[in-house]
């Protein structure tokens, strides 16, 4: 199986003001003259991790990564104002324009797959290819599955219990709204307690075998606050999409080379999401692997590396 490329440090990083509130952290790695790719992290609100740079051959790719509004090293942290899907799509265009890139590969997983689809459907002429992992279409049924008492709560009942116990019994019929009230409380301790319960639930659901370090990372105040607050803001409004929008607008991107990669046992984003997308987009290549949700799962790493190498091979062959 393919492994991540070696660890790499950015050759360029900067803060990019995008409006009167938000300033984005942006970095570039790899080959400054290579094939451009933009990496889209999950959440929304999860932020970047160093291993995100390692899905791409550093000799062949100019790797662009950024922390989305309110996440990671972007400021202000966990900010909800002026923070929607369409703000993030516009931010990607600002980054592309700032870096002088004509077209780039769009690579994203989980929420990153959602944002990748939204961006490509808005700016298809700017996209050379799409590599999407852990497909999430932000539909009401997907949000109910994981954040309300849907199927995930039955499969991971022991991990669900602390998430549910953070909310009084009488409020559990609408978990998203109950958490939203606490995540936007005027009391900092209330916000943090809710965020850590949310982050622990999500972090404990990412992999087939529980990864204590990953759970701890998602429950840490820095990650949990931005993840929980921004996810709740986006998901209670269904990602700011019209019903069925990402499936209905596939015709806008049908011509773009695309790889869809999904874990068979993904609890956060069930594999049905990928099948639903592939059904309306048969031109895309769908690969279902024996894994859970996280990009770090070995079978998912293998599939993603093969996809990024294949895209580079295709572009090189076309140029030749």
Tokens 């003001």, residue?
A: 17
**Which of the residues are catalytic?**
110, 266, 293
Once rounded to an integer, what is the mean pLDDT over residues 131-152? 95
- Categorise residue 24: left if φ over 0, alpha if ψ from -120 to 50, beta otherwise: beta
CB atoms within 10 A of CB 255: 10
CA distances (Å), origin 210, targets 8, 43, 205, 206, 207: 27, 19, 8, 8, 6
Q: With 90 as the cut, is the pLDDT of residue 283 above it?
A: yes
Contact 119, 96 (CB under 8 A): no
Determine how β-strand 23-30 pairs with β-strand 61-66: antiparallel
Two tokens at 121?
A: 């459907």
> What band does 151 get if pLDDT is binned at 50, 70 and 90?
confident
CATH topology of domain 12-140+239-319: Rossmann fold (3.40.50)
Q: What are the residue ranges spanned by the domains of the chain?
A: 12-140+239-319, 141-238
> What band does 210 get if pLDDT is binned at 50, 70 and 90?
confident
Once rounded to an integer, what is the mean pLDDT over residues 127-135? 98
d(Cα 279, Cα 268) in Å, to the nearest integer? 21
CB neighbour list of residue 11: distance below 8 Å, 6 or more residues apart? 28, 29, 30, 32
| Residue range 156-193, pLDDT digits in tens | 999 999 999 999 999 999 999 999 999 999 999 999 99
Percent of the chain's residues with pLDDT above 90:
96
Two tokens at 284?
A: 């895309």
Contact 59, 32 (CB under 8 A): no
d(Cα 37, Cα 143) in Å, to the nearest integer? 29
pTM for the model: 0.97
Which range among 146-155, 221-230, 294-303 shows the weakest confidence by mean pLDDT? 146-155
Q: With 90 as the cut, is the pLDDT of residue 320 above it?
A: no
> What band does 316 get if pLDDT is binned at 50, 70 and 90?
confident
Burial call 77-101: b when 16+ CB within 10 Å, e when fewer:
bbbbeebbbebbbbbbebbbeebee
> What band does 150 get if pLDDT is binned at 50, 70 and 90?
confident
By residue count, the chain amounts to 320
**What pLDDT was estimated at residue 89?**
98
CB neighbour list of residue 311: distance below 8 Å, 6 or more residues apart? 35, 105, 128, 129, 131, 257, 259
Q: What is the mean pLDDT of the chain?
A: 97
Once rounded to an integer, what is the mean pLDDT over residues 102-124? 98
Q: With 80 as the cut, is the pLDDT of residue 275 above it?
A: yes
Cβ contacts of 97-102, under 8 Å, gap ≥ 24 = 98/16, 98/26, 99/28, 99/36, 99/64, 101/36, 101/62, 101/64, 102/126
Two tokens at 181?
A: 């009230």
Helix residue spans in 81-211 (DSSP H): 85-99, 111-122, 140-147, 151-155, 157-165, 175-183, 188-203
> What band does 49 get if pLDDT is binned at 50, 70 and 90?
very high
Peptide bond into 133 cis (omega under 30): no
Q: Report which secondary-structure segment, H or E, holds 223.
A: helix 221-235
């Amino acid at each position: 199986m393919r492994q991540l490329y070696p660890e790499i440090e950015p050759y360029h990083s900067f803060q990019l003001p995008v409006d009167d509130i938000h300033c984005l952290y942006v970095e570039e790695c790899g080959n400054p003259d290579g094939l451009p790719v933009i990496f889209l992290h999950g959440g929304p609100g999860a932020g970047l991790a160093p291993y995100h740079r390692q899905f791409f051959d550093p000799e062949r790719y100019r790797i662009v990564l950024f922390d989305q509004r309110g996440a990671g090293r972007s400021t202000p942290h966990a900010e909800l104002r002026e923070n929607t899907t369409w703000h993030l799509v516009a931010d990607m265009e600002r980054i592309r324009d700032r870096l002088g890139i004509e077209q780039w590969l769009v690579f994203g997983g989980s929420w990153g797959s959602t944002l990748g689809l939204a961006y490509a459907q808005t700016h298809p002429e700017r996209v050379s290819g799409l590599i999407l992992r852990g497909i999430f279409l932000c539909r009401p049924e997907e949000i109910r599955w994981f954040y309300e008492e849907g199927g995930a709560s039955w499969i991971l009942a022991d991990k669900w219990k602390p998430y549910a116990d953070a909310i009084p019994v009488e409020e559990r019929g609408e978990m998203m709204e109950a958490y939203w009230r606490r995540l936007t409380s005027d009391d900092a301790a209330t916000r943090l307690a809710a965020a850590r319960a949310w982050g622990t639930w999500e972090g404990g659901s990412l992999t087939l075998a529980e990864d204590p370090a990953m759970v701890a990372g998602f429950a840490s105040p820095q990650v949990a606050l931005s993840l929980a607050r921004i996810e709740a803001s986006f998901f209670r409004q269904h990602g700011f999409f019209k019903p069925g929008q990402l499936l209905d607008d596939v015709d806008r991107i049908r011509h773009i080379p695309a790889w869809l990669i999904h874990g068979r046992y993904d609890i956060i984003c069930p594999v049905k999401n990928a099948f639903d997308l592939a059904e309306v987009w048969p031109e895309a290549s769908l690969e279902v692997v024996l894994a859970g949700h996280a990009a770090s799962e070995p079978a998912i790493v293998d599939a993603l590396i093969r996809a990024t190498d294949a895209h580079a091979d295709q572009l090189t062959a076309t140029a030749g």
